[in-house]
Chains A and B, each alone.
Chain A
Protein backbone atom coordinates (compact mmCIF):
# COMPACT_ATOMS: atom_id res chain seq x y z
CA UNK A 1 0.00 0.00 0.00
CA UNK A 2 1.22 3.45 -0.82
CA UNK A 3 2.02 5.85 1.90
CA UNK A 4 -0.96 8.08 2.61
CA UNK A 5 -0.34 11.67 1.56
CA UNK A 6 -1.97 13.57 4.45
CA UNK A 7 -1.02 16.97 3.06
CA UNK A 8 -2.93 16.13 -0.10
CA UNK A 9 -5.96 14.88 1.79
CA UNK A 10 -5.92 18.06 3.91
CA UNK A 11 -5.86 20.10 0.75
CA UNK A 12 -8.83 18.41 -0.94
CA UNK A 13 -11.12 18.25 2.13
CA UNK A 14 -14.35 19.91 1.04
CA UNK A 15 -14.79 22.05 4.12
CA UNK A 16 -12.43 24.90 4.99
CA UNK A 17 -9.49 24.09 7.31
CA UNK A 18 -6.59 26.22 8.42
CA UNK A 19 -3.81 25.94 10.92
CA UNK A 20 -2.55 28.75 13.17
CA UNK A 21 0.48 28.87 15.41
CA UNK A 22 0.32 30.15 18.99
CA UNK A 23 0.68 33.74 17.79
CA UNK A 24 -2.36 33.15 15.56
CA UNK A 25 -0.24 33.27 12.43
CA UNK A 26 -1.24 31.16 9.45
CA UNK A 27 0.79 28.02 9.05
CA UNK A 28 -1.27 26.48 6.31
CA UNK A 29 -4.79 26.32 4.91
CA UNK A 30 -6.57 24.01 2.50
CA UNK A 31 -8.04 24.89 -0.86
CA UNK A 32 -11.60 25.18 0.44
CA UNK A 33 -10.48 27.73 3.03
CA UNK A 34 -8.52 29.76 0.51
CA UNK A 35 -11.50 29.80 -1.83
CA UNK A 36 -13.81 30.90 0.96
CA UNK A 37 -11.62 33.82 1.97
CA UNK A 38 -10.61 34.54 -1.59
CA UNK A 39 -6.85 34.46 -0.94
CA UNK A 40 -3.77 32.52 -1.99
CA UNK A 41 -1.74 30.61 0.56
CA UNK A 42 1.20 32.90 -0.18
CA UNK A 43 -1.01 35.89 0.77
CA UNK A 44 -1.72 34.60 4.25
CA UNK A 45 1.24 32.45 5.20
CA UNK A 46 2.92 33.85 8.33
CA UNK A 47 0.30 36.59 8.70
CA UNK A 48 -1.67 37.10 11.89
CA UNK A 49 -5.33 36.14 11.46
CA UNK A 50 -6.59 39.38 13.00
CA UNK A 51 -4.18 41.53 11.01
CA UNK A 52 -5.51 39.97 7.85
CA UNK A 53 -9.17 39.91 8.87
CA UNK A 54 -9.56 42.64 11.50
CA UNK A 55 -12.67 42.42 13.61
CA UNK A 56 -12.98 44.65 16.62
CA UNK A 57 -16.59 43.68 17.20
CA UNK A 58 -18.39 41.03 19.16
CA UNK A 59 -17.52 38.28 16.69
CA UNK A 60 -13.83 39.13 16.79
CA UNK A 61 -13.89 39.03 20.59
CA UNK A 62 -15.65 35.65 20.64
CA UNK A 63 -13.22 34.21 18.13
CA UNK A 64 -10.22 35.42 20.12
CA UNK A 65 -11.70 34.03 23.34
CA UNK A 66 -12.23 30.66 21.71
CA UNK A 67 -8.56 30.49 20.66
CA UNK A 68 -7.55 31.54 24.19
CA UNK A 69 -9.62 28.69 25.64
CA UNK A 70 -7.99 26.17 23.33
CA UNK A 71 -4.51 27.44 24.24
CA UNK A 72 -5.31 27.45 27.95
CA UNK A 73 -7.11 24.13 28.21
CA UNK A 74 -5.66 22.13 25.34
CA UNK A 75 -9.21 21.10 24.53
CA UNK A 76 -11.33 21.71 21.43
CA UNK A 77 -13.71 24.63 21.44
CA UNK A 78 -16.74 25.23 19.25
CA UNK A 79 -18.42 28.45 18.18
CA UNK A 80 -21.80 27.29 16.85
CA UNK A 81 -22.82 30.58 15.33
CA UNK A 82 -20.43 33.31 14.41
CA UNK A 83 -21.22 36.34 12.29
CA UNK A 84 -18.01 37.18 10.48
CA UNK A 85 -17.90 39.37 7.40
CA UNK A 86 -15.34 38.56 4.76
CA UNK A 87 -14.18 40.42 1.71
CA UNK A 88 -16.11 39.12 -1.25
CA UNK A 89 -13.76 40.61 -3.80
CA UNK A 90 -10.29 41.98 -4.23
CA UNK A 91 -11.82 45.49 -4.06
CA UNK A 92 -12.46 44.87 -0.40
CA UNK A 93 -16.26 44.80 -0.51
CA UNK A 94 -17.36 43.09 2.68
CA UNK A 95 -20.09 40.53 2.84
CA UNK A 96 -21.82 39.39 6.02
CA UNK A 97 -21.54 35.65 6.51
CA UNK A 98 -22.31 33.21 9.31
CA UNK A 99 -20.03 30.40 10.41
CA UNK A 100 -19.82 27.49 12.74
CA UNK A 101 -16.18 27.24 13.82
CA UNK A 102 -14.51 24.28 15.52
CA UNK A 103 -11.04 24.88 17.03
CA UNK A 104 -8.90 21.82 17.73
CA UNK A 105 -5.48 21.99 19.44
CA UNK A 106 -2.51 20.24 17.90
CA UNK A 107 -0.16 19.33 20.76
CA UNK A 108 3.61 18.93 20.70
CA UNK A 109 5.51 15.99 22.25
CA UNK A 110 5.40 17.74 25.63
CA UNK A 111 1.61 17.93 25.54
CA UNK A 112 1.40 21.69 25.17
CA UNK A 113 -0.50 23.41 22.39
CA UNK A 114 1.62 24.05 19.33
CA UNK A 115 -1.02 24.80 16.69
CA UNK A 116 -4.72 25.40 16.51
CA UNK A 117 -6.63 23.75 13.68
CA UNK A 118 -9.74 25.61 12.66
CA UNK A 119 -12.55 24.04 10.69
CA UNK A 120 -15.28 26.41 9.61
CA UNK A 121 -18.62 25.61 8.08
CA UNK A 122 -20.44 28.33 6.24
CA UNK A 123 -23.95 28.36 7.71
CA UNK A 124 -25.01 31.65 6.12
CA UNK A 125 -27.88 30.09 4.16
CA UNK A 126 -29.20 28.34 7.27
CA UNK A 127 -28.84 31.52 9.29
CA UNK A 128 -30.73 33.45 6.65
CA UNK A 129 -33.50 30.90 6.50
CA UNK A 130 -33.70 31.14 10.24
CA UNK A 131 -33.91 34.93 10.03
CA UNK A 132 -36.57 34.71 7.40
CA UNK A 133 -38.65 32.21 9.29
CA UNK A 134 -38.76 34.35 12.40
CA UNK A 135 -39.36 37.72 10.85
CA UNK A 136 -41.23 39.82 11.78
CA UNK A 137 -42.85 38.15 14.76
CA UNK A 138 -39.80 37.26 16.79
CA UNK A 139 -36.43 38.87 17.01
CA UNK A 140 -33.21 37.01 16.48
CA UNK A 141 -31.14 36.05 19.45
CA UNK A 142 -27.44 36.57 19.01
CA UNK A 143 -26.73 33.60 21.19
CA UNK A 144 -29.02 31.27 19.34
CA UNK A 145 -27.70 27.78 19.23
CA UNK A 146 -28.27 27.94 15.58
CA UNK A 147 -27.78 24.47 14.30
CA UNK A 148 -29.84 22.80 17.00
CA UNK A 149 -32.67 25.20 16.66
CA UNK A 150 -32.88 25.62 12.93
CA UNK A 151 -34.93 22.51 12.42
CA UNK A 152 -37.28 23.32 15.23
CA UNK A 153 -37.62 26.90 14.03
CA UNK A 154 -38.28 25.79 10.50
CA UNK A 155 -40.93 23.34 11.62
CA UNK A 156 -42.76 25.75 13.86
CA UNK A 157 -42.54 28.58 11.34
CA UNK A 158 -43.30 26.60 8.26
CA UNK A 159 -46.87 27.83 8.23
CA UNK A 160 -45.87 31.45 8.70
CA UNK A 161 -43.29 31.03 6.02
CA UNK A 162 -45.87 29.57 3.68
CA UNK A 163 -48.23 32.43 4.47
CA UNK A 164 -45.60 34.96 3.55
CA UNK A 165 -44.52 32.98 0.56
CA UNK A 166 -47.99 32.98 -0.95
CA UNK A 167 -49.38 36.28 0.30
CA UNK A 168 -50.76 38.66 -2.34
CA UNK A 169 -48.74 41.48 -0.84
CA UNK A 170 -45.02 41.15 -1.42
CA UNK A 171 -42.46 40.51 1.30
CA UNK A 172 -38.71 40.33 1.38
CA UNK A 173 -36.14 40.10 4.12
CA UNK A 174 -32.80 41.81 3.68
CA UNK A 175 -29.86 41.05 5.91
CA UNK A 176 -26.83 43.06 6.84
CA UNK A 177 -25.57 46.48 5.77
CA UNK A 178 -25.40 45.47 2.12
CA UNK A 179 -29.03 44.33 2.13
CA UNK A 180 -28.63 40.72 1.09
CA UNK A 181 -31.93 39.02 0.22
CA UNK A 182 -32.55 36.15 2.61
CA UNK A 183 -36.21 35.73 1.76
CA UNK A 184 -38.52 36.85 -1.03
CA UNK A 185 -42.16 35.88 -1.36
CA UNK A 186 -43.62 34.56 -4.61
CA UNK A 187 -45.30 37.89 -5.28
CA UNK A 188 -42.01 39.69 -4.70
CA UNK A 189 -40.36 37.44 -7.26
CA UNK A 190 -43.19 38.13 -9.70
CA UNK A 191 -42.64 41.84 -9.12
CA UNK A 192 -38.99 41.58 -10.16
CA UNK A 193 -39.59 39.36 -13.17
CA UNK A 194 -38.77 36.04 -11.51
CA UNK A 195 -35.11 36.86 -11.03
CA UNK A 196 -33.30 34.83 -8.37
CA UNK A 197 -32.56 37.35 -5.67
CA UNK A 198 -31.97 35.29 -2.51
CA UNK A 199 -28.31 35.35 -1.53
CA UNK A 200 -27.63 38.51 -3.52
CA UNK A 201 -27.46 42.12 -2.44
CA UNK A 202 -30.25 44.42 -3.57
CA UNK A 203 -27.80 46.35 -5.72
CA UNK A 204 -26.61 43.18 -7.48
CA UNK A 205 -29.98 41.43 -7.76
CA UNK A 206 -31.84 44.51 -9.03
CA UNK A 207 -29.17 46.66 -10.70
CA UNK A 208 -31.77 48.92 -12.31
CA UNK A 209 -32.80 50.41 -8.96
CA UNK A 210 -29.37 51.97 -8.42
CA UNK A 211 -29.66 55.71 -8.60
CA UNK A 212 -33.35 55.68 -7.71
CA UNK A 213 -32.74 56.45 -4.04
CA UNK A 214 -34.01 53.13 -2.70
CA UNK A 215 -30.67 51.72 -1.61
CA UNK A 216 -29.96 54.98 0.17
CA UNK A 217 -33.30 54.58 1.97
CA UNK A 218 -32.39 51.02 2.97
CA UNK A 219 -29.06 52.31 4.27
CA UNK A 220 -30.90 54.83 6.43
CA UNK A 221 -33.36 52.24 7.73
CA UNK A 222 -30.48 49.93 8.55
CA UNK A 223 -28.26 52.54 10.17
CA UNK A 224 -30.87 54.76 11.84
CA UNK A 225 -33.64 52.28 12.49
CA UNK A 226 -36.36 54.44 11.06
CA UNK A 227 -39.42 53.07 9.33
CA UNK A 228 -39.90 54.20 5.77
CA UNK A 229 -43.36 54.25 4.23
CA UNK A 230 -44.17 55.12 0.64
CA UNK A 231 -47.44 55.33 -1.23
CA UNK A 232 -47.70 55.09 -4.98
CA UNK A 233 -43.93 55.48 -5.29
CA UNK A 234 -42.74 55.38 -8.89
CA UNK A 235 -39.95 52.88 -9.42
CA UNK A 236 -38.41 51.81 -12.71
CA UNK A 237 -38.19 48.06 -12.36
CA UNK A 238 -37.32 45.20 -14.70
CA UNK A 239 -40.56 43.22 -14.73
CA UNK A 240 -39.49 40.59 -17.27
CA UNK A 241 -35.93 39.37 -17.53
CA UNK A 242 -34.02 40.85 -20.41
CA UNK A 243 -36.55 43.65 -20.92
CA UNK A 244 -35.93 47.31 -20.10
CA UNK A 245 -37.19 48.65 -16.75
CA UNK A 246 -40.88 49.48 -16.62
CA UNK A 247 -42.68 52.18 -14.72
CA UNK A 248 -44.04 50.53 -11.58
CA UNK A 249 -46.03 52.10 -8.77
CA UNK A 250 -45.59 50.63 -5.30
CA UNK A 251 -46.94 51.10 -1.81
CA UNK A 252 -44.23 49.79 0.48
CA UNK A 253 -42.62 49.95 3.89
CA UNK A 254 -39.08 49.28 5.07
CA UNK A 255 -38.93 48.11 8.70
CA UNK A 256 -35.70 47.56 10.60
CA UNK A 257 -35.27 44.02 11.97
CA UNK A 258 -33.65 43.94 15.41
CA UNK A 259 -32.09 41.17 17.41
CA UNK A 260 -32.64 40.63 21.14
CA UNK A 261 -30.10 43.34 21.97
CA UNK A 262 -31.86 45.82 19.77
CA UNK A 263 -29.11 45.77 17.15
CA UNK A 264 -30.45 46.15 13.64
CA UNK A 265 -29.61 43.08 11.61
CA UNK A 266 -31.64 43.68 8.49
CA UNK A 267 -34.63 45.26 6.82
CA UNK A 268 -38.10 43.83 6.37
CA UNK A 269 -39.71 44.89 3.10
CA UNK A 270 -43.42 44.61 2.47
CA UNK A 271 -45.71 46.23 -0.02
CA UNK A 272 -48.28 46.08 -2.79
CA UNK A 273 -47.90 46.53 -6.52
CA UNK A 274 -50.23 49.44 -7.29
CA UNK A 275 -49.28 49.81 -10.95
CA UNK A 276 -52.60 48.66 -12.36
CA UNK A 277 -54.62 50.88 -10.03
CA UNK A 278 -52.44 53.91 -10.76
CA UNK A 279 -52.69 53.26 -14.50
CA UNK A 280 -56.47 52.91 -14.24
CA UNK A 281 -56.62 56.27 -12.48
CA UNK A 282 -54.42 57.79 -15.15
CA UNK A 283 -56.63 56.34 -17.89
CA UNK A 284 -59.70 57.71 -16.17
CA UNK A 285 -58.04 61.11 -15.90
CA UNK A 286 -57.28 61.03 -19.62
CA UNK A 287 -60.88 60.09 -20.41
CA UNK A 288 -62.25 62.89 -18.23
CA UNK A 289 -59.86 65.38 -19.82
CA UNK A 290 -60.89 64.12 -23.22
CA UNK A 291 -64.57 64.44 -22.37
CA UNK A 292 -64.02 67.98 -21.09
CA UNK A 293 -62.19 68.82 -24.24
CA UNK A 294 -64.96 67.43 -26.44
CA UNK A 295 -67.72 69.14 -24.49
CA UNK A 296 -65.88 72.45 -24.66
CA UNK A 297 -65.16 72.04 -28.35
CA UNK A 298 -68.78 71.16 -29.03
CA UNK A 299 -69.90 74.20 -27.06
CA UNK A 300 -67.57 76.33 -29.16
CA UNK A 301 -69.10 74.84 -32.31
CA UNK A 302 -72.66 75.45 -31.10
CA UNK A 303 -71.75 78.97 -30.07
CA UNK A 304 -70.32 79.57 -33.51
CA UNK A 305 -73.36 78.10 -35.27
CA UNK A 306 -75.57 80.46 -33.28
CA UNK A 307 -73.44 83.47 -33.99
CA UNK A 308 -73.02 82.63 -37.69
CA UNK A 309 -76.72 81.97 -38.14
CA UNK A 310 -77.73 85.22 -36.49
CA UNK A 311 -75.22 87.22 -38.51
CA UNK A 312 -76.26 85.78 -41.86
CA UNK A 313 -80.02 85.72 -41.35
CA UNK A 314 -81.96 88.91 -40.85
CA UNK A 315 -85.38 87.44 -40.06
CA UNK A 316 -85.50 86.06 -36.47
CA UNK A 317 -87.97 83.25 -37.31
CA UNK A 318 -85.82 82.06 -40.22
CA UNK A 319 -82.71 82.32 -38.11
CA UNK A 320 -84.33 80.22 -35.38
CA UNK A 321 -85.29 77.47 -37.87
CA UNK A 322 -81.86 77.48 -39.49
CA UNK A 323 -80.16 77.34 -36.09
CA UNK A 324 -82.30 74.40 -34.95
CA UNK A 325 -81.70 72.51 -38.17
CA UNK A 326 -77.93 72.99 -37.93
CA UNK A 327 -77.84 71.94 -34.27
CA UNK A 328 -79.93 68.88 -35.16
CA UNK A 329 -77.48 67.92 -37.92
CA UNK A 330 -74.61 68.29 -35.44
CA UNK A 331 -76.44 66.27 -32.79
CA UNK A 332 -77.19 63.44 -35.23
CA UNK A 333 -73.53 63.21 -36.17
CA UNK A 334 -72.64 63.08 -32.48
CA UNK A 335 -75.14 60.28 -31.94
CA UNK A 336 -73.64 58.27 -34.77
CA UNK A 337 -70.20 58.75 -33.28
CA UNK A 338 -71.24 57.86 -29.77
CA UNK A 339 -72.80 54.63 -31.11
CA UNK A 340 -69.29 53.68 -32.24
CA UNK A 341 -67.34 54.93 -29.23
CA UNK A 342 -66.39 58.14 -30.99
CA UNK A 343 -64.05 56.33 -33.33
CA UNK A 344 -65.59 56.68 -36.74
CA UNK A 345 -68.71 56.42 -38.88
CA UNK A 346 -69.51 55.13 -42.32
CA UNK A 347 -69.83 57.78 -44.97
CA UNK A 348 -72.95 56.01 -46.32
CA UNK A 349 -74.74 56.24 -42.98
CA UNK A 350 -73.82 59.89 -42.74
CA UNK A 351 -75.23 60.73 -46.17
CA UNK A 352 -78.37 58.68 -45.73
CA UNK A 353 -79.05 60.15 -42.32
CA UNK A 354 -78.74 63.72 -43.54
CA UNK A 355 -80.90 63.17 -46.61
CA UNK A 356 -83.46 60.73 -45.21
CA UNK A 357 -85.82 63.55 -44.27
CA UNK A 358 -86.31 64.55 -47.90
CA UNK A 359 -88.32 63.08 -50.77
CA UNK A 360 -87.50 59.38 -51.33
CA UNK A 361 -88.01 59.27 -55.04
CA UNK A 362 -85.85 62.31 -55.67
CA UNK A 363 -82.63 61.15 -54.08
CA UNK A 364 -80.20 58.38 -54.94
CA UNK A 365 -77.11 57.59 -52.86
CA UNK A 366 -74.46 55.07 -53.73
CA UNK A 367 -70.94 54.12 -52.79
CA UNK A 368 -68.79 51.50 -51.11
CA UNK A 369 -68.48 51.04 -47.38
CA UNK A 370 -65.95 53.66 -46.27
CA UNK A 371 -65.09 54.55 -42.70
CA UNK A 372 -64.35 58.15 -41.75
CA UNK A 373 -62.87 59.42 -38.48
CA UNK A 374 -64.71 61.48 -35.90
CA UNK A 375 -63.35 64.87 -36.95
CA UNK A 376 -64.26 64.33 -40.60
CA UNK A 377 -67.66 63.00 -39.51
CA UNK A 378 -68.59 66.27 -37.80
CA UNK A 379 -67.21 68.38 -40.62
CA UNK A 380 -68.97 66.37 -43.35
CA UNK A 381 -72.25 66.27 -41.43
CA UNK A 382 -72.37 70.07 -41.24
CA UNK A 383 -71.33 70.37 -44.89
CA UNK A 384 -73.94 67.87 -46.14
CA UNK A 385 -76.54 69.70 -44.10
CA UNK A 386 -75.71 73.01 -45.79
CA UNK A 387 -75.78 71.40 -49.25
CA UNK A 388 -79.13 69.72 -48.54
CA UNK A 389 -80.63 72.90 -47.13
CA UNK A 390 -79.54 74.79 -50.20
CA UNK A 391 -81.02 72.09 -52.50
CA UNK A 392 -84.36 72.38 -50.74
CA UNK A 393 -84.47 76.15 -50.76
CA UNK A 394 -82.97 76.93 -54.16
CA UNK A 395 -81.98 73.70 -55.93
CA UNK A 396 -83.23 70.38 -57.23
CA UNK A 397 -85.23 69.53 -54.12
CA UNK A 398 -87.22 72.75 -54.39
CA UNK A 399 -89.33 71.22 -57.17
CA UNK A 400 -91.02 67.76 -57.29
CA UNK A 401 -89.33 66.75 -60.54
CA UNK A 402 -85.80 67.59 -59.35
CA UNK A 403 -83.26 64.85 -58.71
CA UNK A 404 -80.26 64.65 -56.40
CA UNK A 405 -77.58 61.98 -56.62
CA UNK A 406 -74.80 61.59 -54.07
CA UNK A 407 -72.06 59.12 -54.94
CA UNK A 408 -68.87 58.42 -53.08
CA UNK A 409 -65.83 56.31 -53.73
CA UNK A 410 -62.17 55.94 -52.89
CA UNK A 411 -59.79 56.75 -55.73
CA UNK A 412 -56.40 55.17 -56.50
CA UNK A 413 -54.70 57.56 -54.03
CA UNK A 414 -57.22 56.54 -51.32
CA UNK A 415 -58.80 59.98 -51.51
CA UNK A 416 -62.43 60.05 -50.49
CA UNK A 417 -64.33 61.43 -53.48
CA UNK A 418 -67.89 62.67 -53.00
CA UNK A 419 -69.97 63.72 -56.01
CA UNK A 420 -73.04 65.82 -55.32
CA UNK A 421 -75.14 66.35 -58.43
CA UNK A 422 -78.46 68.16 -58.71
CA UNK A 423 -80.62 67.94 -61.85
CA UNK A 424 -84.11 68.91 -63.00
CA UNK A 425 -84.45 71.89 -60.74
CA UNK A 426 -83.94 75.59 -61.38
CA UNK A 427 -80.61 76.58 -62.91
CA UNK A 428 -77.91 77.13 -60.33
CA UNK A 429 -76.61 80.67 -60.13
CA UNK A 430 -73.48 81.70 -58.26
CA UNK A 431 -74.48 83.93 -55.35
CA UNK A 432 -73.52 87.58 -55.57
CA UNK A 433 -72.32 87.53 -51.97
CA UNK A 434 -70.63 84.54 -50.44
CA UNK A 435 -73.05 83.20 -47.84
CA UNK A 436 -72.50 81.01 -44.83
CA UNK A 437 -73.14 77.80 -46.80
CA UNK A 438 -70.53 78.33 -49.49
CA UNK A 439 -68.02 79.72 -47.01
CA UNK A 440 -68.49 76.60 -44.86
CA UNK A 441 -68.20 74.27 -47.85
CA UNK A 442 -65.00 75.90 -49.01
CA UNK A 443 -63.36 76.11 -45.59
CA UNK A 444 -64.27 72.57 -44.52
CA UNK A 445 -63.04 70.94 -47.72
CA UNK A 446 -59.96 72.96 -48.56
CA UNK A 447 -59.03 74.19 -45.07
CA UNK A 448 -60.07 71.77 -42.38
CA UNK A 449 -59.80 68.59 -44.48
CA UNK A 450 -57.03 69.83 -46.79
CA UNK A 451 -58.86 68.63 -49.90
CA UNK A 452 -60.14 70.03 -53.16
CA UNK A 453 -63.54 71.44 -53.96
CA UNK A 454 -64.94 71.75 -57.46
CA UNK A 455 -68.22 73.65 -57.21
CA UNK A 456 -70.19 74.31 -60.41
CA UNK A 457 -73.27 76.43 -60.85
CA UNK A 458 -74.76 74.98 -64.02
CA UNK A 459 -78.06 75.39 -65.86
CA UNK A 460 -78.97 71.78 -64.94
CA UNK A 461 -78.31 72.48 -61.28
CA UNK A 462 -75.54 72.62 -58.71
CA UNK A 463 -72.77 70.07 -58.77
CA UNK A 464 -69.98 69.66 -56.28
CA UNK A 465 -67.02 67.31 -56.30
CA UNK A 466 -65.17 66.92 -53.02
CA UNK A 467 -61.77 65.20 -52.93
CA UNK A 468 -60.57 64.54 -49.40
CA UNK A 469 -57.08 63.17 -48.76
CA UNK A 470 -56.69 59.99 -46.65
CA UNK A 471 -54.85 61.78 -43.83
CA UNK A 472 -58.00 63.82 -43.16
CA UNK A 473 -60.59 61.09 -43.02
CA UNK A 474 -59.00 57.69 -42.36
CA UNK A 475 -59.83 56.41 -38.89
CA UNK A 476 -56.98 56.71 -36.42
CA UNK A 477 -56.37 54.51 -33.41
CA UNK A 478 -57.30 57.32 -31.07
CA UNK A 479 -59.20 60.22 -32.48
CA UNK A 480 -59.06 63.38 -30.45
CA UNK A 481 -61.79 65.71 -31.61
Chain B
Protein backbone atom coordinates (compact mmCIF):
# COMPACT_ATOMS: atom_id res chain seq x y z
CA UNK B 1 0.00 0.00 0.00
CA UNK B 2 0.96 3.63 -0.03
CA UNK B 3 3.10 5.89 2.01
CA UNK B 4 0.25 7.72 3.73
CA UNK B 5 -2.00 4.74 4.48
CA UNK B 6 -5.35 5.67 5.90
CA UNK B 7 -4.72 9.42 5.99
CA UNK B 8 -7.89 11.39 5.35
CA UNK B 9 -7.78 14.07 2.66
CA UNK B 10 -10.36 16.68 1.73
CA UNK B 11 -10.19 17.79 -1.91
CA UNK B 12 -11.55 20.80 -3.78
CA UNK B 13 -10.95 20.75 -7.55
CA UNK B 14 -13.31 22.12 -10.18
CA UNK B 15 -12.06 20.23 -13.21
CA UNK B 16 -13.17 16.66 -13.61
CA UNK B 17 -10.03 15.33 -15.23
CA UNK B 18 -7.68 17.07 -12.83
CA UNK B 19 -9.77 15.71 -9.97
CA UNK B 20 -9.51 12.17 -11.37
CA UNK B 21 -5.76 12.52 -11.55
CA UNK B 22 -5.55 13.78 -7.98
CA UNK B 23 -7.84 11.02 -6.73
CA UNK B 24 -5.64 8.44 -8.42
CA UNK B 25 -2.48 9.97 -6.99
CA UNK B 26 -3.98 10.02 -3.51
CA UNK B 27 -5.24 6.44 -3.86
CA UNK B 28 -1.72 5.34 -4.86
CA UNK B 29 -0.35 7.07 -1.76
CA UNK B 30 -2.84 5.13 0.38
CA UNK B 31 -4.89 8.20 1.28
CA UNK B 32 -8.61 8.17 1.68
CA UNK B 33 -10.56 11.03 0.05
CA UNK B 34 -13.07 11.81 2.79
CA UNK B 35 -14.73 14.69 1.02
CA UNK B 36 -14.58 16.37 -2.33
CA UNK B 37 -16.13 19.44 -3.84
CA UNK B 38 -16.06 20.89 -7.32
CA UNK B 39 -17.91 24.13 -6.68
CA UNK B 40 -17.57 26.80 -4.03
CA UNK B 41 -20.98 26.37 -2.38
CA UNK B 42 -20.31 22.63 -2.10
CA UNK B 43 -16.80 23.29 -0.78
CA UNK B 44 -18.07 25.63 1.96
CA UNK B 45 -20.82 23.21 3.05
CA UNK B 46 -18.48 20.25 3.09
CA UNK B 47 -15.68 22.12 4.83
CA UNK B 48 -18.06 22.53 7.77
CA UNK B 49 -19.70 19.14 7.56
CA UNK B 50 -16.83 16.79 6.83
CA UNK B 51 -15.55 14.71 9.75
CA UNK B 52 -11.94 14.28 10.75
CA UNK B 53 -9.50 15.42 8.09
CA UNK B 54 -5.69 15.17 8.13
CA UNK B 55 -5.09 17.61 5.26
CA UNK B 56 -6.97 19.51 2.56
CA UNK B 57 -5.86 20.01 -1.04
CA UNK B 58 -7.56 23.07 -2.48
CA UNK B 59 -7.65 24.29 -6.06
CA UNK B 60 -7.43 28.08 -5.70
CA UNK B 61 -9.50 29.12 -8.71
CA UNK B 62 -12.81 27.32 -8.86
CA UNK B 63 -15.19 28.28 -11.61
CA UNK B 64 -14.04 31.89 -11.80
CA UNK B 65 -14.13 32.43 -8.05
CA UNK B 66 -11.65 31.54 -5.32
CA UNK B 67 -11.65 28.79 -2.75
CA UNK B 68 -10.76 31.06 0.19
CA UNK B 69 -14.17 31.08 1.93
CA UNK B 70 -13.84 27.30 2.27
CA UNK B 71 -10.16 27.56 3.16
CA UNK B 72 -11.08 29.94 5.99
CA UNK B 73 -13.34 27.33 7.57
CA UNK B 74 -10.78 24.55 7.22
CA UNK B 75 -7.97 26.72 8.58
CA UNK B 76 -10.08 27.57 11.62
CA UNK B 77 -10.60 23.88 12.19
CA UNK B 78 -6.82 23.57 12.30
CA UNK B 79 -6.65 21.45 9.17
CA UNK B 80 -3.35 21.79 7.26
CA UNK B 81 -3.94 23.25 3.79
CA UNK B 82 -2.21 22.59 0.49
CA UNK B 83 -3.17 25.03 -2.27
CA UNK B 84 -2.98 23.89 -5.88
CA UNK B 85 -2.78 26.66 -8.44
CA UNK B 86 -1.70 27.38 -11.98
CA UNK B 87 -0.37 30.73 -10.76
CA UNK B 88 2.10 29.38 -8.20
CA UNK B 89 2.74 31.00 -4.83
CA UNK B 90 2.50 34.52 -6.29
CA UNK B 91 -1.10 33.78 -7.18
CA UNK B 92 -1.98 33.56 -3.50
CA UNK B 93 -3.02 36.67 -1.59
CA UNK B 94 -0.50 37.61 1.12
CA UNK B 95 -2.64 36.30 3.99
CA UNK B 96 -2.50 32.79 2.52
CA UNK B 97 1.11 32.69 1.44
CA UNK B 98 2.25 30.94 4.62
CA UNK B 99 0.40 27.82 3.54
CA UNK B 100 1.81 25.04 1.38
CA UNK B 101 1.43 25.51 -2.37
CA UNK B 102 1.69 23.11 -5.25
CA UNK B 103 2.01 24.32 -8.83
CA UNK B 104 -0.27 22.86 -11.49
CA UNK B 105 0.34 20.61 -13.29
CA UNK B 106 1.76 18.41 -10.56
CA UNK B 107 3.22 14.92 -10.58
CA UNK B 108 2.50 12.20 -8.00
CA UNK B 109 5.94 12.97 -6.51
CA UNK B 110 5.03 16.66 -6.18
CA UNK B 111 1.90 15.76 -4.24
CA UNK B 112 3.80 13.32 -2.02
CA UNK B 113 6.52 15.89 -1.26
CA UNK B 114 4.00 18.62 -0.49
CA UNK B 115 1.79 16.42 1.70
CA UNK B 116 4.62 14.88 3.75
CA UNK B 117 5.25 17.80 6.13
CA UNK B 118 1.51 18.49 6.51
CA UNK B 119 0.74 14.93 7.50
CA UNK B 120 3.82 14.71 9.73
CA UNK B 121 2.63 17.82 11.56
CA UNK B 122 -0.83 16.34 11.93
CA UNK B 123 0.72 13.36 13.72
CA UNK B 124 1.65 10.06 12.04
Contact = CB atoms under 8 A, between A and B. Distances in A.
Interface of A: 289, 292-297, 299-305, 307-308, 311, 375, 378-379, 382, 439-440, 443-444, 447-448, 450, 472, 476, 478-480
Given A297-B15, A297-B104, 4 more contacts: A300-B21, A304-B20, A440-B17, A447-B16
Contacts of A478: 64
Given A289-B87, A375-B64, A480-B61, A296 B16 contact: no
| Most B CB within 10 A of own CB, among A292, A297, A378 | A297
B69 interface: no
B73 interface: no
Contacts of A303: 21, 105
Contacts of B20: 304, 308, 439-440, 443
Given A299-B104, A303-B105, A476 B17 contact: no
Interface residues of B, number: 24
Nearest to B86: A296
A293 B61 contact: yes
Contacts of A289: 87, 91
Contact of A448 (B14, B24, B85, B86): B14
6 contacts: A292-B86, A302-B105, A307-B21, A440-B20, A447-B16, A472-B63
Contacts of B86: 292-297, 300
B72 to A, nearest CB: 20
Given A296-B104, A304-B21, A448 B87 contact: no
Given A300-B106, A311-B24, A382 B87 contact: no
A293 B21 CA distance: 18
B12 to A, nearest CB: 11
Contact of B18 (A292, A300, A375, A476): A300
A176 B120 CA distance: 67
Nearest to B84: A300
- Which 3 residue pairs are nearest across A and B when measured between Cβ atoms? A296-B86, A304-B21, A300-B105
Contacts of A379: 15-16
Contacts of A307: 21, 24
A440 B63 contact: no
A307 B21 CA distance: 7
Nearest to B63: A375
B90 to A, nearest CB: 8
A448 B16 contact: yes
Centre residue among B24, B86, B91 by max chain A CB count within 10 A: B86
